[in-house]
Amino acid sequence: MKVTVTGGASFIGSHLVEKLLEKGHSIKVIDNLSSGSQENLKGILKDIELIVLDLRVASPVQIAKIISGSDILYHLAADHGGRGYVELKQTDCSNSLAIDNNVFMACIYGDVRKVIYASSGCVYPLDMQNDTDQMLYLNEDDIGPPYEPDGIYGLAKLAGELTLKVMYEEHQLESTCCRFFTVYGPRGKENHAIMSFIARAFIQRNPFEIWGDGTQIRNWTYVDDIVNGLLVNLKGHQALNIGTTERTRVIDAVQMTLNVVNKHYYKGEYNPEILLQRDMPVGPLNRVADNSKLLNLNGIPLMNINLGIERTVDWYFKTKDKEYIEKNLDRLLIARQ
Ligand SMILES: NC(=O)c1ccc[n+]([C@@H]2O[C@H](COP(=O)([O-])OP(=O)(O)OC[C@H]3O[C@@H](n4cnc5c(N)ncnc54)[C@H](O)[C@@H]3O)[C@@H](O)[C@H]2O)c1
Protein backbone atom coordinates (compact mmCIF):
# COMPACT_ATOMS: atom_id res chain seq x y z
CA MET A 1 0.00 0.00 0.00
CA LYS A 2 0.93 3.65 -0.35
CA VAL A 3 1.05 5.18 3.12
CA THR A 4 1.65 8.76 4.25
CA VAL A 5 2.83 9.42 7.79
CA THR A 6 2.68 13.02 9.03
CA GLY A 7 5.03 13.54 11.97
CA GLY A 8 6.90 10.45 10.78
CA ALA A 9 10.25 11.83 11.97
CA SER A 10 9.06 11.86 15.60
CA PHE A 11 9.81 9.42 18.40
CA ILE A 12 6.66 7.33 17.81
CA GLY A 13 6.38 8.17 14.10
CA SER A 14 9.85 6.85 13.28
CA HIS A 15 9.10 3.49 14.95
CA LEU A 16 5.85 3.31 12.98
CA VAL A 17 7.60 4.11 9.69
CA GLU A 18 10.17 1.35 10.33
CA LYS A 19 7.38 -1.16 10.96
CA LEU A 20 5.40 -0.10 7.86
CA LEU A 21 8.54 -0.45 5.74
CA GLU A 22 9.14 -3.94 7.14
CA LYS A 23 5.63 -4.81 5.95
CA GLY A 24 6.54 -3.71 2.43
CA HIS A 25 4.55 -0.48 2.17
CA SER A 26 5.69 2.53 0.21
CA ILE A 27 6.08 5.48 2.61
CA LYS A 28 5.91 9.26 2.38
CA VAL A 29 6.74 11.19 5.54
CA ILE A 30 5.64 14.81 5.99
CA ASP A 31 7.33 16.58 8.90
CA ASN A 32 8.71 20.05 9.59
CA LEU A 33 11.37 18.56 11.91
CA SER A 34 10.39 20.96 14.72
CA SER A 35 10.57 18.19 17.31
CA GLY A 36 11.16 15.20 15.04
CA SER A 37 14.54 14.66 13.39
CA GLN A 38 16.24 12.98 10.46
CA GLU A 39 18.39 11.24 13.06
CA ASN A 40 15.29 9.26 14.11
CA LEU A 41 15.01 7.98 10.52
CA LYS A 42 18.72 7.21 10.19
CA GLY A 43 19.15 3.98 8.29
CA ILE A 44 15.81 4.17 6.43
CA LEU A 45 15.98 7.65 4.86
CA LYS A 46 16.91 6.14 1.50
CA ASP A 47 13.84 3.89 1.57
CA ILE A 48 11.23 6.60 2.15
CA GLU A 49 10.25 9.95 0.68
CA LEU A 50 10.71 12.70 3.31
CA ILE A 51 8.88 15.95 2.61
CA VAL A 52 9.87 18.78 4.96
CA LEU A 53 6.76 20.93 5.22
CA ASP A 54 5.07 23.05 7.87
CA LEU A 55 1.51 21.72 8.08
CA ARG A 56 0.32 24.80 10.02
CA VAL A 57 0.82 27.08 7.05
CA ALA A 58 0.63 24.75 4.01
CA SER A 59 -2.84 24.98 2.47
CA PRO A 60 -5.15 21.94 2.34
CA VAL A 61 -4.93 22.10 -1.47
CA GLN A 62 -1.11 22.02 -1.36
CA ILE A 63 -1.15 19.11 1.11
CA ALA A 64 -3.79 17.29 -0.95
CA LYS A 65 -1.43 17.24 -3.96
CA ILE A 66 1.20 15.47 -1.84
CA ILE A 67 -1.04 12.90 -0.17
CA SER A 68 -3.37 12.12 -3.06
CA GLY A 69 -3.04 8.44 -4.01
CA SER A 70 -2.28 7.33 -0.43
CA ASP A 71 -4.34 4.33 0.74
CA ILE A 72 -3.93 5.35 4.39
CA LEU A 73 -2.73 8.50 6.11
CA TYR A 74 -1.30 8.23 9.61
CA HIS A 75 -1.57 11.65 11.19
CA LEU A 76 0.97 12.09 14.00
CA ALA A 77 2.17 15.65 13.35
CA ALA A 78 1.26 17.83 16.32
CA ASP A 79 2.62 20.67 18.42
CA HIS A 80 3.27 18.50 21.43
CA GLY A 81 5.72 17.98 24.26
CA GLY A 82 5.71 16.45 27.72
CA ARG A 83 3.75 17.52 30.80
CA GLY A 84 5.77 20.71 31.28
CA TYR A 85 5.28 21.75 27.65
CA VAL A 86 1.55 20.99 27.41
CA GLU A 87 0.84 22.95 30.61
CA LEU A 88 3.30 25.85 30.23
CA LYS A 89 3.23 26.34 26.42
CA GLN A 90 -0.47 26.10 25.63
CA THR A 91 -0.36 28.85 23.00
CA ASP A 92 2.09 26.70 21.03
CA CYS A 93 -0.09 23.61 21.53
CA SER A 94 -2.99 25.45 19.84
CA ASN A 95 -1.02 25.10 16.56
CA SER A 96 -2.35 21.54 16.41
CA LEU A 97 -5.85 22.87 15.71
CA ALA A 98 -4.57 24.35 12.44
CA ILE A 99 -2.39 21.35 11.59
CA ASP A 100 -5.27 18.88 12.05
CA ASN A 101 -7.75 20.92 10.09
CA ASN A 102 -5.36 21.41 7.15
CA VAL A 103 -4.51 17.70 7.02
CA PHE A 104 -8.10 16.43 7.36
CA MET A 105 -9.43 18.84 4.69
CA ALA A 106 -6.55 17.72 2.46
CA CYS A 107 -7.70 14.10 2.85
CA ILE A 108 -11.12 15.08 1.51
CA TYR A 109 -9.66 17.15 -1.38
CA GLY A 110 -7.06 14.47 -2.18
CA ASP A 111 -9.55 11.60 -1.94
CA VAL A 112 -7.64 9.75 0.78
CA ARG A 113 -10.13 7.27 2.23
CA LYS A 114 -8.69 6.48 5.68
CA VAL A 115 -6.98 8.42 8.49
CA ILE A 116 -5.35 6.91 11.56
CA TYR A 117 -5.14 9.76 14.06
CA ALA A 118 -2.63 10.00 16.93
CA SER A 119 -5.00 11.03 19.68
CA SER A 120 -4.33 10.88 23.40
CA GLY A 121 -5.52 9.95 26.87
CA CYS A 122 -5.74 13.76 27.20
CA VAL A 123 -9.22 13.71 25.59
CA TYR A 124 -10.78 12.12 28.69
CA PRO A 125 -12.53 14.38 31.23
CA LEU A 126 -10.06 15.57 33.88
CA ASP A 127 -12.77 15.39 36.50
CA MET A 128 -12.76 11.56 36.27
CA GLN A 129 -9.04 11.28 36.93
CA ASN A 130 -8.44 12.87 40.32
CA ASP A 131 -8.95 10.09 42.83
CA THR A 132 -5.90 7.87 43.29
CA ASP A 133 -7.88 5.39 45.43
CA GLN A 134 -10.21 4.62 42.52
CA MET A 135 -9.36 1.64 40.25
CA LEU A 136 -10.11 3.72 37.18
CA TYR A 137 -9.84 2.31 33.63
CA LEU A 138 -10.82 4.92 31.06
CA ASN A 139 -13.06 3.38 28.43
CA GLU A 140 -13.33 4.57 24.80
CA ASP A 141 -16.89 5.83 25.46
CA ASP A 142 -15.91 7.99 28.44
CA ILE A 143 -14.91 11.21 26.62
CA GLY A 144 -18.24 13.04 27.06
CA PRO A 145 -20.28 15.16 26.70
CA PRO A 146 -19.77 16.91 29.01
CA TYR A 147 -16.22 17.32 27.70
CA GLU A 148 -13.28 18.33 29.89
CA PRO A 149 -10.05 17.61 28.00
CA ASP A 150 -6.56 18.13 29.40
CA GLY A 151 -5.63 21.73 28.45
CA ILE A 152 -5.43 23.15 24.94
CA TYR A 153 -3.37 20.13 23.87
CA GLY A 154 -6.21 17.77 24.87
CA LEU A 155 -8.78 20.15 23.42
CA ALA A 156 -7.03 20.02 20.04
CA LYS A 157 -7.01 16.20 20.10
CA LEU A 158 -10.70 16.18 21.05
CA ALA A 159 -11.52 18.68 18.28
CA GLY A 160 -9.58 16.45 15.86
CA GLU A 161 -11.58 13.40 16.89
CA LEU A 162 -14.94 15.18 16.65
CA THR A 163 -14.01 16.65 13.27
CA LEU A 164 -13.11 13.19 11.97
CA LYS A 165 -16.47 11.90 13.22
CA VAL A 166 -18.45 14.41 11.17
CA MET A 167 -16.13 13.94 8.18
CA TYR A 168 -17.02 10.24 8.25
CA GLU A 169 -20.74 11.03 8.43
CA GLU A 170 -20.65 13.69 5.71
CA HIS A 171 -17.79 12.54 3.44
CA GLN A 172 -17.29 8.82 4.32
CA LEU A 173 -13.68 9.54 5.28
CA GLU A 174 -12.90 6.53 7.52
CA SER A 175 -10.88 7.17 10.69
CA THR A 176 -9.48 5.48 13.76
CA CYS A 177 -8.67 7.76 16.68
CA CYS A 178 -5.88 5.95 18.53
CA ARG A 179 -5.63 7.30 22.06
CA PHE A 180 -2.04 6.81 23.20
CA PHE A 181 -1.28 6.74 26.93
CA THR A 182 2.07 8.16 28.16
CA VAL A 183 4.52 6.56 25.78
CA TYR A 184 8.19 5.78 26.45
CA GLY A 185 10.99 3.83 24.80
CA PRO A 186 14.09 4.32 22.63
CA ARG A 187 14.14 7.80 20.94
CA GLY A 188 11.80 9.18 23.62
CA LYS A 189 12.48 12.72 24.85
CA GLU A 190 13.50 13.92 28.30
CA ASN A 191 10.33 16.06 28.44
CA HIS A 192 8.32 12.90 29.27
CA ALA A 193 8.44 11.44 32.80
CA ILE A 194 10.17 8.06 32.36
CA MET A 195 12.74 9.56 29.99
CA SER A 196 13.39 12.36 32.50
CA PHE A 197 14.01 9.79 35.26
CA ILE A 198 16.46 7.91 33.06
CA ALA A 199 18.21 11.17 32.10
CA ARG A 200 18.57 12.20 35.77
CA ALA A 201 19.99 8.78 36.60
CA PHE A 202 22.34 8.94 33.60
CA ILE A 203 24.04 12.04 35.02
CA GLN A 204 23.60 10.78 38.62
CA ARG A 205 21.63 13.81 39.67
CA ASN A 206 21.50 14.26 43.46
CA PRO A 207 19.07 15.29 44.77
CA PHE A 208 16.82 13.49 42.28
CA GLU A 209 13.84 15.75 41.55
CA ILE A 210 10.30 14.44 41.08
CA TRP A 211 7.48 16.73 39.94
CA GLY A 212 4.59 16.62 42.44
CA ASP A 213 4.41 14.29 45.43
CA GLY A 214 5.10 11.15 43.39
CA THR A 215 1.71 9.54 43.95
CA GLN A 216 0.34 10.32 40.46
CA ILE A 217 -0.69 7.10 38.69
CA ARG A 218 0.02 6.40 35.01
CA ASN A 219 0.02 3.39 32.69
CA TRP A 220 3.32 3.96 30.88
CA THR A 221 3.16 2.28 27.49
CA TYR A 222 6.13 1.01 25.50
CA VAL A 223 6.49 2.44 21.99
CA ASP A 224 6.35 -0.97 20.24
CA ASP A 225 2.89 -1.52 21.77
CA ILE A 226 1.73 1.81 20.35
CA VAL A 227 2.95 0.81 16.89
CA ASN A 228 1.19 -2.57 17.12
CA GLY A 229 -2.03 -0.77 18.05
CA LEU A 230 -1.68 1.62 15.12
CA LEU A 231 -1.66 -1.37 12.75
CA VAL A 232 -5.09 -2.60 13.88
CA ASN A 233 -7.57 -2.30 11.03
CA LEU A 234 -10.96 -0.87 12.05
CA LYS A 235 -13.91 0.07 9.86
CA GLY A 236 -15.88 3.33 9.84
CA HIS A 237 -15.09 5.91 12.54
CA GLN A 238 -13.88 4.44 15.84
CA ALA A 239 -11.77 5.24 18.89
CA LEU A 240 -9.14 2.86 20.24
CA ASN A 241 -7.22 3.12 23.52
CA ILE A 242 -3.58 2.09 23.18
CA GLY A 243 -2.18 1.70 26.67
CA THR A 244 -1.42 -0.90 29.30
CA THR A 245 -3.58 -1.52 32.37
CA GLU A 246 -0.53 -1.47 34.69
CA ARG A 247 -1.11 1.15 37.36
CA THR A 248 2.24 2.64 38.37
CA ARG A 249 2.88 5.59 40.70
CA VAL A 250 5.53 8.09 39.66
CA ILE A 251 7.59 7.33 42.78
CA ASP A 252 7.55 3.61 41.93
CA ALA A 253 8.64 4.26 38.33
CA VAL A 254 11.55 6.28 39.74
CA GLN A 255 12.49 3.40 42.04
CA MET A 256 12.34 0.93 39.11
CA THR A 257 14.66 3.23 37.13
CA LEU A 258 17.11 3.49 40.05
CA ASN A 259 17.07 -0.32 40.44
CA VAL A 260 17.85 -0.85 36.75
CA VAL A 261 20.71 1.66 36.59
CA ASN A 262 22.20 0.33 39.82
CA LYS A 263 22.00 -3.24 38.57
CA HIS A 264 23.60 -2.55 35.19
CA TYR A 265 25.82 0.49 35.70
CA TYR A 266 26.36 1.73 39.27
CA LYS A 267 26.76 -1.47 41.36
CA GLY A 268 24.14 -0.29 43.86
CA GLU A 269 26.10 2.87 44.70
CA TYR A 270 23.74 5.50 43.27
CA ASN A 271 21.17 6.24 45.98
CA PRO A 272 20.19 9.88 45.58
CA GLU A 273 18.04 11.88 47.95
CA ILE A 274 14.52 12.32 46.48
CA LEU A 275 13.40 15.94 46.18
CA LEU A 276 9.65 16.45 45.64
CA GLN A 277 8.95 19.58 43.56
CA ARG A 278 5.30 20.15 44.39
CA ASP A 279 4.99 23.37 42.35
CA MET A 280 5.83 21.71 39.00
CA PRO A 281 3.13 20.50 36.53
CA VAL A 282 1.81 17.03 37.39
CA GLY A 283 -1.32 16.53 35.25
CA PRO A 284 -4.22 14.33 36.35
CA LEU A 285 -3.61 12.14 39.40
CA ASN A 286 -5.02 8.88 38.06
CA ARG A 287 -4.87 8.06 34.32
CA VAL A 288 -5.02 4.42 33.16
CA ALA A 289 -6.61 2.91 30.04
CA ASP A 290 -9.16 0.19 29.63
CA ASN A 291 -7.43 -1.74 26.82
CA SER A 292 -9.92 -4.58 26.39
CA LYS A 293 -10.91 -3.40 22.89
CA LEU A 294 -7.27 -3.44 21.74
CA LEU A 295 -6.59 -6.86 23.25
CA ASN A 296 -9.73 -8.31 21.67
CA LEU A 297 -8.61 -7.01 18.30
CA ASN A 298 -4.93 -7.95 18.20
CA GLY A 299 -4.39 -10.21 21.24
CA ILE A 300 -0.79 -9.05 21.63
CA PRO A 301 0.34 -8.82 25.29
CA LEU A 302 1.78 -5.44 26.22
CA MET A 303 5.27 -4.76 27.58
CA ASN A 304 5.79 -4.97 31.32
CA ILE A 305 7.10 -1.65 32.69
CA ASN A 306 10.20 -3.13 34.35
CA LEU A 307 11.39 -4.70 31.13
CA GLY A 308 10.44 -1.58 29.16
CA ILE A 309 12.52 0.62 31.47
CA GLU A 310 15.43 -1.82 31.21
CA ARG A 311 15.39 -1.62 27.39
CA THR A 312 15.02 2.14 27.40
CA VAL A 313 17.85 2.63 29.90
CA ASP A 314 20.05 0.45 27.70
CA TRP A 315 19.30 2.64 24.65
CA TYR A 316 19.73 5.90 26.57
CA PHE A 317 23.03 5.01 28.22
CA LYS A 318 24.47 3.74 24.92
CA THR A 319 23.46 6.73 22.79
CA LYS A 320 23.57 9.87 24.96
CA ASP A 321 26.44 12.21 25.75
CA LYS A 322 26.84 12.90 29.51
CA GLU A 323 28.33 16.35 29.11
CA TYR A 324 25.49 17.45 26.81
CA ILE A 325 22.76 16.10 29.12
CA GLU A 326 24.37 17.68 32.20
CA LYS A 327 24.44 21.05 30.46
CA ASN A 328 20.98 20.89 28.90
CA LEU A 329 18.73 18.72 31.09
CA ASP A 330 16.81 21.55 32.80
CA ARG A 331 15.86 22.96 29.38
CA LEU A 332 15.11 19.52 27.87
CA LEU A 333 12.62 18.72 30.66
CA ILE A 334 10.23 21.27 29.15
CA ALA A 335 11.42 22.02 25.58
CA ARG A 336 10.46 20.04 22.44
CA GLN A 337 14.07 19.69 21.17
N1 LIG B 1 4.57 10.69 23.48
C2 LIG B 1 3.41 10.49 24.08
O3 LIG B 1 3.37 10.09 25.26
C4 LIG B 1 2.12 10.73 23.35
C5 LIG B 1 0.91 10.47 24.01
C6 LIG B 1 -0.29 10.71 23.35
C7 LIG B 1 -0.27 11.15 22.03
N8 LIG B 1 0.91 11.41 21.42
C9 LIG B 1 0.88 11.91 20.04
O10 LIG B 1 1.73 11.12 19.22
C11 LIG B 1 2.25 11.90 18.15
C12 LIG B 1 3.76 11.70 18.09
O13 LIG B 1 4.31 12.20 19.31
P14 LIG B 1 5.81 11.88 19.77
O15 LIG B 1 5.81 11.83 21.25
O16 LIG B 1 6.36 10.76 19.01
O17 LIG B 1 6.69 13.13 19.34
P18 LIG B 1 6.48 14.58 18.81
O19 LIG B 1 5.60 15.37 19.66
O20 LIG B 1 7.84 15.12 18.60
O21 LIG B 1 5.78 14.34 17.38
C22 LIG B 1 5.23 15.37 16.63
C23 LIG B 1 5.82 15.35 15.23
O24 LIG B 1 5.12 16.32 14.44
C25 LIG B 1 6.07 17.14 13.78
N26 LIG B 1 5.45 18.47 13.62
C27 LIG B 1 5.13 19.33 14.62
N28 LIG B 1 4.59 20.46 14.11
C29 LIG B 1 4.55 20.26 12.75
C30 LIG B 1 4.12 21.09 11.67
N31 LIG B 1 3.63 22.31 11.88
N32 LIG B 1 4.24 20.61 10.40
C33 LIG B 1 4.74 19.36 10.18
N34 LIG B 1 5.17 18.55 11.18
C35 LIG B 1 5.08 19.00 12.44
C36 LIG B 1 7.29 17.17 14.69
O37 LIG B 1 8.47 17.54 14.04
C38 LIG B 1 7.29 15.72 15.19
O39 LIG B 1 7.97 14.89 14.29
C40 LIG B 1 1.79 13.32 18.42
O41 LIG B 1 0.63 13.57 17.66
C42 LIG B 1 1.44 13.31 19.89
O43 LIG B 1 0.48 14.32 20.20
C44 LIG B 1 2.11 11.20 22.04
Residue 68's pLDDT is: 97
The chain-wide mean pLDDT, for the chain, equals 97
* DSSP string of 290-336, one letter each residue: --HHHHHHH-PPPPPHHHHHHHHHHHHHHH--HHHHHHHHHHHTTS-
Q: Which of 10, 37, 100, 101 to mutate to test the pocket of ligand 1 (most atoms within 8 A of CB)?
A: 10
The answer, as to whether pTM is greater than 0.95, is yes
Residue 309's pLDDT is: 98
What single-letter DSSP state applies at residue 42? T
Question: Ligand 1 centre from 265 Cα, in Å?
Answer: 32
96-122 per-position pLDDT tens digit: 999 999 999 999 999 999 999 999 999
pLDDT band with cut points at 50, 70 and 90 for residue 196: very high
Ligand 1, atom 24: closest residue by C-alpha? 77
Sign of CA dihedral 185, 188, 190, 191: negative
Question: Ligand 1 centre from 82 Cα, in Å?
Answer: 10
Q: Among 228, 227, 219, 274, which Cα is nearest to 247's?
A: 219
Distance CA 160, CA 42 (A): 30
Residue 224's pLDDT is: 98
221-245 per-position pLDDT tens digit: 999 999 999 999 999 999 999 999 9
Question: Ligand 1 centre from 266 Cα, in Å?
Answer: 34
Q: Where are the alpha helices (DSSP H) in the chain?
A: 11-22, 60-67, 83-88, 90-93, 95-109, 151-171, 193-202, 223-230, 250-261, 292-298, 305-319, 322-332
pLDDT at 337 over 90: no
Residue 98 CA: nearest ligand 1 atom is 31
Residue 312's pLDDT is: 98
Residue 1's pLDDT is: 97
How much of the chain, in percent, has pLDDT values that exceed 70? 100
Question: Ligand 1 centre from 163 Cα, in Å?
Answer: 19
Q: Among 194, 195, 182, 192, which Cα is nearest to 221's?
A: 182
Residue 86's pLDDT is: 94
Q: Among 55, 80, 72, which Cα is nearest to 113's?
A: 72
Question: Ligand 1 centre from 34 Cα, in Å?
Answer: 9
Reduce the DSSP state of residue 242 to 3 states and report it: strand
Residue 169's pLDDT is: 98
